[in-house]
A = this chain, B = another copy of it.
Amino acid sequence: MLEPPEILLLGPGPSPSSPYVRRAQSKPQLGHLDPAFVPYLDYAQAGLRRLFGTENTLTLPLAGTGSSGMEAIVANLVEPGDRVVVGVHGVFGVRFADSVRRAGGDVVEVVAEFGQSLDPDAMQAAIAAGPTKLCVVVHAETSTGVLTDLRPIAKAARAAGALFAVDCVTSIGGVPLNFDELGVDAAFCGTQKCLSVPPGLAPVTFSERALERVRARTHPVPFYFDTKLLNGYFGAERSYHYTAPISMIYALVASLEEIEAEGLEARYVRHREVSAALRRGLAPLGLTPLVPVEQATPMLTTVCYPAGVDDAAFRKHLRQQHHIEVGGGLGPLAGKVFRVGLMGHGARLENVLRALAAFGDALAAAGHTPDVSAALAAVHGD
């Protein structure tokens, strides 16, 4: 019998889903073309547009994990030989570059150290240095917790006549996105971060400019990701492309209802405040965030281990003794940091308190002397 334990998910995702979102998945299934299902699709697509900050018609929850959204962008917007500038300052930039290369794109990487911000001037120079077709940036790097300022890069891309695509997997629902205003031509995300829907959907959006590029392609797009076919189902026609993941879309609708009820601005404020509370509590424990607050994304805080704390033992202690999941470091940060996600339904003060108490306990188990009382007191600020 399926009886998973209750683990508090404070890693880089999945985040905890609310009881309402969880229950939504159990609702009776409908056919993917049923007249009672279509309004849910409409609602989901409208809600996603609001979160992306776009009026793009082709805004939809793709069936697949977040990475499938990346693939959809690459599959539609990259042709062999295309010059593609990719900002690489974490694992997900590396992954995007890899995916573009697999599609035959001529990748120009603009690299920053993991944990550092991308240099907008370097991005701009790389975009301007050749006939750039596409520029790609990860908004909130899940591997480091760095938030990128999209504005100068969007401007540079537009000036060069390049399309601009954004990975907003971790940022959507946690910080404001205004993609139409910035001039973002394509974006993808996952549902398992600040939307607090279980993993399995990749919301994507494509601008009219991006779709023009698709129409001008000389190489075919793989069937599954073809925006023309996707538009048949997710556009006005509602014709069959594939059997949409009904229960996942129920969960997305439920989450969007909750987001609507809370209000977008209130939700962004909550993410900022809860993240700030966590940061205040770290110092008394002897912990320091990797990324300065000005460059950090609120929903994901990467924390440096003090000397002598073993990553695996620390996280095992949290998982076994406190039933808390946090993430380990990735790539060059492996073993040096852990990642704390306060995302969507998980971004709550009680989770910060529980997490800090557990961190203190795990540090004590590693021979440190964290001041847990001070940490918990610091949470509430001045």
> A: which residues have CB within 8 A of B?
1-7, 9, 11, 13-14, 16-17, 22-32, 34-37, 40, 63-68, 70-71, 74-75, 95, 98-99, 101-103, 190, 192, 198-200, 220-224, 242-248, 250-251, 253-254, 257, 319, 325
Please determine whether B192 and A243 come into contact, CB atoms closer than 8 angstroms. Answer: yes
Q: Are B250 and A248 interface neighbours, CB within 8 A?
A: no
- Note all chain B residues with C-beta closer than 8 A to A325: 31, 34
Q: How far is the CA of A319 from the CA of B38 in the complex (A)?
A: 15
A233 to B165 alpha-carbon distance, docked (Å): 27
A34, B7: Cβ atoms closer than 8 Å: yes
Report which of B24, B101, B243 forms a contact with A66, defined as CB distance below 8 A. B243
Question: Across the interface, which residues of B come within 8 angstroms of A319, CB to CB?
Answer: 34-35
* A67-B243 Cα distance, complex, nearest whole Å: 9
Tallying the copies of this chain within the complex gives: 2
A257's contact among B1, B23, B65, B224, by CB below 8 Å, is which? B1
Query: Is there an interface contact between A242 and B67, defined as CB atoms closer than 8 Å?
Result: yes
Q: Is the interface of A mostly helix, strand, loop or mixed?
A: loop
Residue from B7, B26, B32 within 8 A of A30 (CB atoms):
B7
Chain B positions within 8 Å of A75 at CB level: 222
Query: Would you give 19 A-B contacts (Cβ < 8 Å), ordered by A?
Result: A2-B250, A3-B27, A4-B36, A7-B30, A9-B30, A13-B243, A14-B32, A22-B26, A22-B27, A34-B319, A63-B63, A63-B68, A64-B64, A67-B223, A95-B223, A98-B223, A198-B246, A199-B246, A247-B247
Question: Besides A67-B223, A248-B248, 17 other CB < 8 A contacts?
Answer: A2-B24, A2-B27, A2-B40, A4-B250, A5-B30, A7-B29, A7-B34, A11-B31, A65-B242, A65-B245, A75-B222, A99-B224, A102-B221, A102-B222, A198-B245, A198-B247, A200-B247
Cα-based distance from A247 to B199 in the complex (angstroms): 8
| Complex A-B, nearest 7 residue pairs according to Cβ-Cβ distance, in ascending order | A200-B245, A25-B25, A198-B247, A102-B220, A71-B224, A99-B223, A65-B242
Given contacts A64-B64, A246-B198, contact A27 B4 (CB under 8 A): yes
| Chain B contacts for A71, CB-based, 8 A | 222-224
Which residue in chain B gives the minimum CB-CB distance to A196?
B29
Task: Say whether A9 contacts B31, CB under 8 Å.
Answer: yes
A41 smallest CB distance to B (angstroms): 12
* Contact of A251 with B247 in the complex, beta carbons under 8 Å: yes
- The 8 Å CB contact of A4, one of B9, B37, B192, is B37
Give the residues in chain B near A220, CB-CB below 8 Å. Answer: 101-102
Which residues of the partner chain B approach A199 to less than 8 Å between Cβ atoms?
32, 63, 243-246
Verify A36–B5 contact, CB threshold 8 A: yes
Asked whether A67 lies within 8 Å of B224 as measured between CB atoms, the reply is yes
Contact (Cβ within 8 A) A64 B29: no
Residue in chain B with minimal CB distance to A224: B71
